[in-house]
Structure 1
Amino acid sequence: MKRINPEVLVLGIVNGLYNSPFFLPRFREALFHYSSLFDMLNATVAPSHEDRILIEKYLLGADVLNVIACEGTERIERPESYKRWQVRSLNAGFKQLPINEEILQRSIEGIKKYYHDDFVIDKDMGWLLQGWKGRIIHALSSWKS
């Protein structure tokens, strides 16, 4: 990315701690991550909704299978924490841009007003965090080269 020299690089990552080469820690962390996603679906979408069935089967199911059943180069999903991405980006020479506080406040107010109470929007170390019941699921940040 540094060679491309983008004006702004926006990182949107799955905040996962299930990139371990060892099965048991990877399984445990994947269980926590995906149980949050399924809990979110249970609380917000009817079990028989056609789109939910497609999401569970083709998106989440395929991801879970890849994380749990595949090893080495067969494993495609390798999410890491936003904190590891921060270190990686800083080491690559990128400078983090601040979060727009107005957008953050609007997002928090919108979540409280229109969505389920267990959705979370917060910030940490220049990252906009999105989660469910206190578990951070996605993180966004912007960087300059």
Structure 2
Amino acid sequence: MAEDPNKRRLTFQGERTTWITPVTLDDLLELKANFPKAPLVMGNTTVGPAIKFKDEFHPVFISPLGLPELHFVTTTDDGVTIGAGYSLAQLNDALQIIVSEQPKEKTKTFRALLKQLRTLAGAQIRNMAEDMWQASLIFLT
């Protein structure tokens, strides 16, 4: 039986740069141990501008975009945990559902975050930007 191509590490090798897509969380951790300075790229909203405007160079990029461990929403009595792989659009959708299902007094922070999300980027960026939403939480503190 042939190996499932979706379960193999994908590597693109250029003259100056290598782009690696891990297939498991353990694979990602191994890559970060081997390439500690390699940026994690998901939506490229942080790394792209740094390369373009700050003239940064990275010989290796790691893109954990497809890791299922980074795409989840868990709701408990203590709060909500949202995987770092969610795009801003997915984060918005998840928070909309949570706000509609929870009592108003438990969702004040989520409603503030939803308000902030409306002002962040255009639809195309919101659909891809994962690394941006974590940094955007700073605005709420």
Q: Identify the structure with the greater strand proportion.
A: 1
Shared topology, TM-score over 0.5? no
TM-score using structure 1 length: 0.31
Highest RCO, 1 vs 2 (Cα 8 Å, sep ≥ 6): 1
| Length-normalised TM-score, structure 2 | 0.32
